[in-house]
Amino acid sequence: MREGYWVVRTYESGIIGEKTKFWVSGQRPAGKSRRREKAELKKQEQNEYSAVKRMARLMHANFRHGDLLIGLDYSGAGMEKLISWAKKKNPGFADMPEEERQAVLFEAARHQAELCIRRVSRAVRLEGGELKYICITSDMDGDTGESVQVHHHLMVQADCAALFIEKWRAMGGVHYDSISRQADYTPIAEYFLRQVRRVKDENKFTSSRNLVRPQPKDRAAMSDAELRIPKGAKLLFLQEYRSRGERSYQPQYIRYIIPQACREAGGDSDGEPEANRKRKGDTQ
């Protein structure tokens, strides 16, 4: 058997808990040398945790039913502005291969989304608030992989729709809807990020600095036993566990609704605490 030990890393993001069990080679360090363990765990997490999990974690920690999913599309005039910006920044734009032109337009669109977010953020501050957001830019159909006209998806707090409509009017249309009651937003993150292809994994989305960013808690595991959810929690996802002879020291992963949220939900199927629904002023 290889020398090493298992470490369980736990996140709690809003009402969602996650546990991942990593194998760390070598003897477990102590004292100041624990920094080596932290560095190894960070490397393991970069390999195991995709942009989907990082994005979902921010969603769980910062947004609830009643907050908004917003889409920003481009009108004909808006696309003309993107092309004009692209030509100004890239004099040889017209002669570029199609793939390169699309990449330049993608970056131009990301810039326009940033400008819109800044304008909305200023307006929210004038009203005494602070904008919270997660944003992706997409130019691909997530189901077929085919190219589509560039557009944007955002998750923002409630009552921001009118400001986005006002600040995006010159570029195109805005559509929005309340976030559903589902407890686990991982499918939303998966849907969004399937549509992103022109940037590195770690840069597939942007988010405001004021978001709560859950921090992990680590502990050494006594054995290689399969991960289990805490007592009173509700299992949402379980990565297939491999037995000692099959696992090859691969990480284990589970996701669940935390016990406190299950108790507060009073048996509600989505696991969202009643207190959260009242806080958001739910009228549905």
Q: List pLDDT tens digits, range 106-123.
A: 999 999 999 999 999 999
Give the ranges where 72-144 is alpha helix by DSSP (H): 76-89, 98-126
Residue that is last in its domain, among 127, 158, 178: 178
CA 28/CA 135 separation, integer angstroms: 39
Taking only the tens place, the pLDDT of each residue in 17-31 is 999 998 887 766 665
Exposure string of 127-141, with b = 16+ CB inside 10 Å and e = fewer, is eeeebbbbbbbbbbe
Per-residue pLDDT at 283: 28
Residue 198 in any domain: the answer is no
Please give the residue that has the higher pLDDT: either 172 or 194: 172
Q: Do 72 and 171 sit in the same domain of this protein? A: yes
Residue 91 in any domain: the answer is yes
Q: Do 73 and 163 sit in the same domain of this protein? A: yes
Q: Across-strand partners of 151?
A: 138
| pTM for the full predicted model | 0.83
Taking only the tens place, the pLDDT of each residue in 38-75 is 565 555 555 445 789 999 999 999 999 999 999 999 99
Q: Do 8 and 96 sit in the same domain of this protein? A: no
Q: Do 27 and 93 sit in the same domain of this protein? A: no
> How many structural domains comprise the chain?
2
Spacing of C-alpha 167 from chain mean position: 24
Q: Do 45 and 99 sit in the same domain of this protein? A: no
Residue that is last in its domain, among 163, 178, 193: 178
Q: Are the C-beta atoms of 193 and 52 separated by less than 8 Å?
A: yes
Q: Do 33 and 102 sit in the same domain of this protein? A: no
Residue 212 in any domain: the answer is no
Residue 204 in any domain: the answer is no
User: Within the chain, what is the greatest distance between any pair of CA atoms?
Assistant: 65
Percent of the chain scored above 70 by pLDDT?
81
List of residues 6+ apart from 138 with CB closer than 8 A:
148, 150, 151, 152, 153, 192, 195, 196
List of residues 6+ apart from 28 with CB closer than 8 A:
5, 37, 220
Please give the residue that has the higher pLDDT: either 192 or 265: 192
Per-residue pLDDT at 221: 87
Residue 80 in any domain: the answer is yes
Q: Do 76 and 144 sit in the same domain of this protein? A: yes
Residue 211 in any domain: the answer is no
Q: Do 168 and 262 sit in the same domain of this protein? A: no
Residue 265 in any domain: the answer is yes
Q: Do 120 and 174 sit in the same domain of this protein? A: yes
* Domain boundaries, position 243: 4-50+220-279
Residue 170 in any domain: the answer is yes
